[in-house]
């Protein structure tokens, strides 16, 4: 675990339960690669003091109230506990006792109103341009979680700690620096290899989005996996596959989330000196056609979905002592032949296979079929 060297809280009046507490620092990169800009907080905003560990969001009564004061690069709570309530007195007593030994921290719950992406100290970051703070909470250790409604950050954005008290990231997971790899990608196998008791911080290290209404400790709440296991390298093929899904009519993310997930995936490609496909309107195909990189991304995504489906069907039929039917087997074999032909083109060999009219018609049919498979394919590697 990482700790801070000071608690950032000062007891102003013990009898009245008054405290001042630093709960955020602006102009620094936190563990989620977020930089909160100066001016992001509303000076003078009235807020609640949540029960310990942000538990008022789960129904616990607030234990106090206060005002946000912006002083330079610090966001400070000028607060007063409800000393006429048992919860208020007890929480203040604990905060005061911890503060005497420099223990205890503070964090805040907020909505993101405006954000942008850019460079800061040579790193790609997300800037929090304007936020709305709803509550400030005493915590044992600040939890450095990321974007979305009810995100909680420690005053310096320290990494999250294991345990059920750690608030979960909601919606899109911010970009982060990590090694990358172009090796083959098997989404279903990657997900299956993650243990069912994986912590939210571990699940966030694999995926690019988490359902804000889901259980943050359940794998099923996470989508767009693109890392080879917990803290593994980002897979470039997976990033391209998921960007193609974001561009498809099947993508059901809110537009803000869709753009943020794209930025997460595109950042991995940029870090590997790859040109990311463009983010288009869902289902849009330009009248003049797609760039080669965008068309190839769509085909790769569809082919990945088709391969996952083929593995599923072949495996299921094998358990019953059956083989794949002649029709599907022929189609898959023909797709394999086209891929071999593409290999020859990439190797600089002449394309000696002249297409007959029937082949062109078949290619069109295959493209339509693969596109349909792509449109119903879920980014977790499962069928919709």
Residue 228 placed within a domain: yes
Residue 89 placed within a domain: yes
Mean pLDDT, residues 323-335 taken together:
82
Same domain assignment for residues 325 and 231 = yes
Q: In which region does residue 6 sit, left (phi positive, over 0), alpha (psi from -120 to 50) or beta (all else)?
A: beta
Of the listed ranges 61-70, 75-84, 281-290, 330-339, the one predicted with least confidence: 281-290
Same domain assignment for residues 137 and 57 = yes
Residue 365 placed within a domain: yes
Same domain assignment for residues 228 and 322 = yes
Mean pLDDT, residues 10-24 taken together:
84
Same domain assignment for residues 277 and 295 = yes
Task: Kindly report the average pLDDT of the chain as a whole number.
Answer: 77
Which has more confidence, 130 or 10? 130
pLDDT at 243: 92
Same domain assignment for residues 226 and 266 = yes
182-216 pLDDT, tens per residue?
Answer: 988 888 888 889 888 787 778 888 999 988 777 77
Which has more confidence, 361 or 71? 71
Task: Give the C-alpha separation, 125 to 35, whole Å.
Answer: 7
Residue 382 placed within a domain: yes
Same domain assignment for residues 199 and 106 = no
In the DSSP assignment, the letter for residue 55 is G
Same domain assignment for residues 299 and 222 = yes
Same domain assignment for residues 288 and 360 = yes
Residue 325 placed within a domain: yes
According to DSSP, the residues that pair with 378 across neighbouring strands are none
DSSP-derived secondary structure for 106-163: EEEEEEEEEEEEEEETTEEEEEEEEEEEEEEEEESS-----SSTTEEEETT-PPP-SS
Decide if pLDDT at 232 tops 90.
no
φ and ψ at residue 100, rounded to 5 degrees: -60, -25
pLDDT at 86: 95
Residue 318 placed within a domain: yes
Same domain assignment for residues 114 and 248 = no
Please say which residue of 167, 201, 232 terminates a domain.
167
Handedness of CA 68, 70, 71, 75 (dihedral sign): positive
pLDDT at 381: 46
Same domain assignment for residues 185 and 74 = no
Total domains, the chain: 2
Please say which residue of 136, 167, 198 terminates a domain.
167
pLDDT at 46: 96
% of the chain residues with pLDDT over 90: 23
Q: How does residue 33 score in pLDDT terms, banded at 50, 70 and 90?
A: low
Q: How far is CA 170 from CA 215, 217, 292, in A?
A: 10, 12, 34
% of the chain residues with pLDDT over 70: 80
Please say which residue of 138, 167, 196 terminates a domain.
167
Same domain assignment for residues 235 and 264 = yes
Q: How does residue 70 score in pLDDT terms, banded at 50, 70 and 90?
A: very high
| CB distance 173 to 212 below 8 Å | no
Closest CA to 225 of 69, 41, 381: 381
End-to-end CA distance of the chain, in Å? 40
| CB distance 146 to 162 below 8 Å | no
Same domain assignment for residues 157 and 296 = no
Task: Give the C-alpha separation, 135 to 26, whole Å.
Answer: 18
Handedness of CA 134, 136, 139, 141 (dihedral sign): positive
φ and ψ at residue 86, rounded to 5 degrees: -60, -40
In the DSSP assignment, the letter for residue 36 is E
148-163 pLDDT, tens per residue?
Answer: 222 334 333 333 333 3
For residue 27, what are the domain limits?
9-167
Residue 211 placed within a domain: yes
pLDDT at 68: 94
Alpha-carbon torsion angle 200, 206, 211, 215, nearest 10: -30
pLDDT at 352: 60
Of the listed ranges 49-53, 214-218, 329-333, 347-351, the one predicted with least confidence: 347-351
Residue 345 placed within a domain: yes
């Amino acid at each position: 675990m990482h700790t801070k060297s000071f608690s950032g809280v000062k007891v102003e009046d013990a009898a009245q339960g008054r405290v001042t507490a630093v709960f955020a620092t602006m102009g620094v990169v936190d563990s989620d690669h977020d930089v909160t800009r100066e001016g992001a907080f509303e000076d003078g905003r009235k807020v609640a003091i949540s029960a310990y560990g942000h538990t008022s969001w789960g129904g616990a009564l607030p234990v106090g109230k206060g005002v946000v004061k912006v002083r330079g690069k610090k966001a400070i709570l000028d607060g007063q506990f409800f000393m006429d309530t048992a919860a208020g007195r007890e929480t203040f007593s604990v905060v005061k006792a911890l503060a005497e030994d420099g223990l205890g921290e503070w964090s805040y719950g907020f909505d993101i109103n405006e954000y942008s992406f850019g460079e800061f100290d040579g790193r790609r970051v997300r800037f929090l341009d304007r936020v709305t703070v709803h509550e400030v909470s005493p915590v044992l250790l600040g939890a450095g979680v990321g974007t979305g409604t009810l995100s909680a950050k420690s005053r310096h954005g320290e990494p999250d700690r294991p345990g059920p008290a750690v608030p979960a990231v909601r919606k899109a997971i911010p970009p982060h620096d990590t090694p990358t790899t172009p090796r083959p990608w098997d989404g279903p196998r990657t997900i299956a290899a993650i243990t069912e008791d994986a912590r939210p911080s571990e699940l966030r290290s694999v995926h690019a989005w988490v359902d804000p209404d889901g259980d943050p400790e359940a794998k099923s709440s996470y989508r767009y996996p693109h890392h080879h296991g917990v803290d593994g390298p980002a897979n470039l093929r997976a990033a391209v596959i998921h960007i193609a899904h974001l561009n498809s009519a099947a993508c059901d993310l809110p537009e803000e989330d869709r753009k943020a997930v794209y930025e997460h995936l595109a950042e991995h490609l940029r870090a590997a000196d790859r040109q990311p496909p463009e983010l288009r309107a869902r289902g849009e195909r330009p009248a003049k056609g797609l760039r080669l990189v965008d068309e190839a991304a769509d085909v790769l995504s569809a082919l990945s979905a088709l391969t996952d489906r083929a593995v599923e069907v072949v495996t299921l039929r094998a358990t019953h002592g059956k083989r794949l039917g002649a029709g599907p087997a022929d189609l898959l074999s023909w797709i394999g032949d086209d891929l071999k032909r593409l290999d020859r083109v990439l190797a600089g060999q002449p394309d000696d296979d002249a297409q007959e009219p029937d082949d062109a018609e078949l290619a069109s049919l295959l493209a339509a079929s693969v596109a349909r498979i792509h449109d119903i394919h879920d980014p977790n590697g499962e069928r919709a």
